[in-house]
Amino acid sequence: MNRRRRWTMVAGLALLGCTAAVAAPVRHAPRLPPVAVRLITHGDRGRKQVALTFDACQTRKPAGYDARLIRILRATHTPATLMLGGRWMETHPAATRSLAADPLFELGNHSYLHPHMTRLTPAGMRAEMQETQDVMYRLTGKQGVLFRPPYGEYDPALISVAARLGLHTLTWEVVTGDPDPHVSAKDIVRAVLERTRPGSIVIMHMNGRGWHTAEALPTVIAALHRRGYRFVTVSQALEPGR
């Protein structure tokens, strides 16, 4: 083999090596076993527990990260379930890794681009969920077992697709209305305290669009504690006999 041909082969192998190195991080989440087809709106009514959930959704437009909420949850040792969008995680990879590493928090799937899921084909639904699972797995080595449909919109087909992917479809019982800038911190506190009962799942937002959520959260936590509630993640709320 002459020198030029040998150099060409070495260069080609080097190029292949670089290509492989770039492609290596693209990992797919392991397949989860299918679960029962069901919709979760609350936990066990027989136990005085409440699950706070926070959505971090992002469309094609960037969304923020209200780290104040996480600081409050950590300072008060309050467990929570964080429903993260795929695009949001890609925009906030360091925050995603930090949240995944904290045993206080459970992470769930909130779709990739926050579309109206019931307008999609079953294949489109699956793609939205699976891409979000893949992003979470690439960033954290973990994947969620809960799926929250954007806008709370669901139908039997969506719940079935989620179940085949190993995801329980989750909505909520207590609506705070915190994405509305006209909803004050006092309004949020009032909504939570008036509507919460044993097993309630509360929805709030941590993507910078819960305008007064951080202001309200300490009062919500303290008031529910005074009423004898214990804070749990959604998965903990669903555990029998916990």
In a domain, 230, yes or no: yes
How many structural domains are present in the chain?
1
Indicate if the pLDDT at residue 49 is higher than 70: yes
Mean pLDDT within 3-19: 41
Task: Kindly tell me the sign of the dihedral angle through the C-alpha atoms of 98, 212, 128, 155.
Answer: positive
In which domain, by residue range, is 76 found?
34-238
In a domain, 14, yes or no: no
Phi (first) and psi of residue 81, to 5 degrees: -110, 125
pLDDT at position 61: 80
The string of pLDDT tens digits covering residues 125-165 is: 999 999 999 999 999 999 999 999 999 999 999 999 999 99
Closest CA to 135 of 194, 58, 196: 58
In a domain, 82, yes or no: yes
User: What is the spatial distance between Cα 109 and Cα 51, in angstroms, rounded to a whole number?
Assistant: 16
Which helix H or strand E contains 15, and what residues bound it? helix 3-23
CB 235 within 8 A of CB 49: no
* Close Cβ partners of 62 (under 8 Å, ≥ 6 residues apart): 91
Indicate if the pLDDT at residue 51 is higher than 50: yes
Phi (first) and psi of residue 175, to 5 degrees: -100, 125
Q: How far is CA 62 from the centre of its chain?
A: 16
In a domain, 20, yes or no: no
The string of pLDDT tens digits covering residues 177-201 is: 999 999 999 999 999 999 999 999 9
Indicate if the pLDDT at residue 78 is higher than 60: yes
CB 64 within 8 A of CB 208: yes
In a domain, 186, yes or no: yes
Mean pLDDT within 78-101: 98
Indicate if the pLDDT at residue 4 is higher than 70: no
In a domain, 77, yes or no: yes
Q: Give me the CATH number covering residue 53.
A: 3.20.20.370
